[in-house]
Amino acid sequence: MTARILVAYATKKGSTAEIAGAIGKELQSLGHEVTVKEMKEVMALEKYDGIVLGAPVYMGKMIGIGKFVKRFRERLAAKPVAVFAVGTAPVSHDQKQIDDETRLPSASVAPQQPASTALFAGVVDPEKFGFFMRKMVGAEKSMVGDFRDWEAIAAWARDLPGKMGL
């Protein structure tokens, strides 16, 4: 069956937007009708059968998603929801940070239970940040790069319709 799926994302530097685009493409290739949009551009949820939300982690928090969930709390509760976070935690070798951030997608829509969650590795490009950010990131050189695992992202997307009951 063809489902209408919204992939709504927040982003500061664009890497989460590209992941949302890849998820949208994968869902589309399965025959679904997909809209990929920045969260702040989303005006209504009525026309969608399922919602995928994605946001990057900055300073231990997913940005943008709290506001979105607050705005659409009731509508969201009536639909299957999946949530992904993007950050450098997966490549940090810091197990506590990985554990903490693995819980963020679920926590972001609580008390609603998401059908599926993921924490994907993102991008750190010091060129895109100001002087202080460059200094911060520069302290850990191994954390600079594009760590996005497109195969893992596509695999997660392929499982979504089944998990979301679409």
122 touches ligand FMN by CB under 6 A: yes
Distance CA 59, CA 83 (A): 19
Distance CA 55, CA 38 (A): 10
In the bound state with ligand FMN, the residue whose beta carbon lies nearer, of 45 and 91, is: 91
Q: Which of residues 97-116 bind ligand FMN (CB under 6 A)?
A: 101
150 touches ligand FMN by CB under 6 A: no
Please give the structure tokens belonging to residue 108. 């972001």
Tokens 């969650």 identify what position?
Answer: 117
Distance CA 140, CA 10 (A): 25
**The dihedral sign for the CA sequence 158, 162, 164, 166:** positive
Q: Which of residues 58-97 bind ligand FMN (CB under 6 A)?
A: 58-60, 86-89
CB of 74 to ligand FMN, least distance (A): 27
8 touches ligand FMN by CB under 6 A: no
| Cβ-based burial of 126 (10 A; exposed 0-12, middle 13-18, buried ≥19) | middle
In the bound state with ligand FMN, the residue whose beta carbon lies nearer, of 122 and 161, is: 122
Q: Binding mask 45-64 vs ligand FMN (x if CB under 6 A, - otherwise)?
A: -----------xxxxx----
Residues of the shown chain interacting with ligand FMN in the complex, contacts defined by CB under 6 A:
11-16, 56-60, 86-89, 101, 122-124, 129, 133, 137
